[in-house]
Structure 1
Amino acid sequence: MSHQAADQELTILGKVTTAFGIKGWVKVYSYTDPMTNILDYPNWLLNIGGEWKTFRVKDSQVHSKGLAVALDGINDRDAALALSQVEIAVPTSELPELEDDEYYWFQLQGLKVVNTHGEWLGQVKELLDSGGGNQVMVINACEGSIDRQQRLIPYAETIVLKVDTEQGEILVDWEADF
């Protein structure tokens, strides 16, 4: 997801889920792959009450079910609990440059999906990692789509023929009745 804060575009990288322990650490659910890539950014923007506030990552630990992170200024369990379900973002300008035919997932969300027959299948709601390095686009019906059906379409080179972010469209080799 992409948001504006103080005249800069932001990208959501994860969220704080709840407190971790009694010393102000928080549990973090990372949208990055691998999950530890969120730790590459030393300063996070947290959306608290609709306002983005900057926090420096002091320390972190990897656990089997996710990450535990210590943030500057969050020193007790109550302060950590107050951050529950808060989104974590960084300025989009800080993300690594991609190759020409590569995209961040947030760039694909909201694009309309059209098949080779010119049928509008819907709009990308989200992308899922189905394991083994396979990604799947969740396509929701929307105004103008051929039906009201939700579709799961693999994000694979043989299926996704063209992504045009300027036109807001993805061309797929996928039949409407699959």
Structure 2
Amino acid sequence: MINIILKKPLNPIVIGKIGKAYGILGWIKIFSFSENKEKIFSYFPWFIFKQQKWEMIQIDKWKKHNNNFIIHIKNIIDRSMISKFTNLEIFIEKNTLPILKKDEYYWNDIIDCKVFNTRKTYLGKVINLIRNQNSDVLIIQNHLEKNNLKKIMIPFVHKKIVQCINITHKIITVIWN
């Protein structure tokens, strides 16, 4: 078996964000973007992009803390060392994620999809998704005029509003005016 240590991710995706330092012993808060929050600890190695270069970080301990987590990074011994990580995004290599079944996709696959209504009118491009109590919401940005950006929020209700998602061609069809 060959061990390959990645210096940087080849196909990075964001899976979380680092928050503020916690305590004086080098712990820091993190926010998981995975649907099951604790799943973030199933995807390693983690990478950060700091001062224009990639760095792999190794977690030696983690704990659930309130609704999120705190972590301790190997070789970090105090608050001043860990404070330099505040507000950095946590990346993983995309191939670390489980392979999906047909017609399944990850949220990051939907970003940058072009959205058309059923009359083939271009509505814009997906720039984000947000989780709502009732349903997820597509955030779509459209350039109506030269300097006029318009954001459209469309509930992500499969088959009722979102008719078709073609990840290969990056196209989503919706029932929307």
Sort the TM-score into its range (normalised by shorter chain).
0.7 to 0.9
Task: Determine if the alignment matches structure 1 residue 135 to structure 2 residue 136.
Answer: yes
- Partners of 1:6 and 1:150 lie apart in 2 by 34
In the other structure, the counterpart of 2:3 is none
Higher deviation after alignment, 98-107 or 35-44: 35-44
RMSD across aligned positions (CA): 1.9
Amino acid of the structure 2 residue aligned with 1:149: K
Higher deviation after alignment, 154-163 or 122-131: 154-163
Identity between Structure 1 and Structure 2 (%): 26
Q: Deviations over 1:114-162 (max 9, x none)?
A: 0001111111110001025x21101111379xx8532111111121111
The unaligned stretches of length 5 or more in structure 2 are 1-6
- Partners of 1:35 and 1:92 lie apart in 2 by 17
- Please report how far the alpha carbon of residue 108 of structure 1 lies from its aligned counterpart in structure 2 after TM superposition: 0.6
Q: Deviations over 1:88-112 (max 9, x none)?
A: 0111010011111111111111111
Whether the 8 Å contact between 1:123 and 1:142 is mirrored in structure 2 is no
Match runs of 1:62-101 below 5 Å: 62-101=64-103
Whether the 8 Å contact between 1:14 and 1:30 is mirrored in structure 2 is yes
- Partners of 2:117 and 2:36 lie apart in 1 by 31
Amino acid of the structure 2 residue aligned with 1:164: N
- Partners of 1:56 and 1:7 lie apart in 2 by 14
- Partners of 1:173 and 1:119 lie apart in 2 by 11
Whether the 8 Å contact between 2:62 and 2:69 is mirrored in structure 1 is yes
Amino acid of the structure 2 residue aligned with 1:120: Y
In the other structure, the counterpart of 2:42 is 40
- Please report how far the alpha carbon of residue 30 of structure 1 lies from its aligned counterpart in structure 2 after TM superposition: 1.2
- Please report how far the alpha carbon of residue 7 of structure 1 lies from its aligned counterpart in structure 2 after TM superposition: 6.6
Change (3 A) 1:6 1:24: closer
Q: What TM-score do you get using the length of structure 1 for normalisation?
A: 0.87
- Partners of 1:173 and 1:58 lie apart in 2 by 48
- Please report how far the alpha carbon of residue 71 of structure 1 lies from its aligned counterpart in structure 2 after TM superposition: 1.0
The unaligned stretches of length 5 or more in structure 1 are none
The number of aligned residues is 168
Amino acid of the structure 1 residue aligned with 2:102: D
Change (3 A) 1:143 1:164: farther
Helix, strand or coil for the counterpart of 2:59? strand
Amino acid of the structure 1 residue aligned with 2:139: V
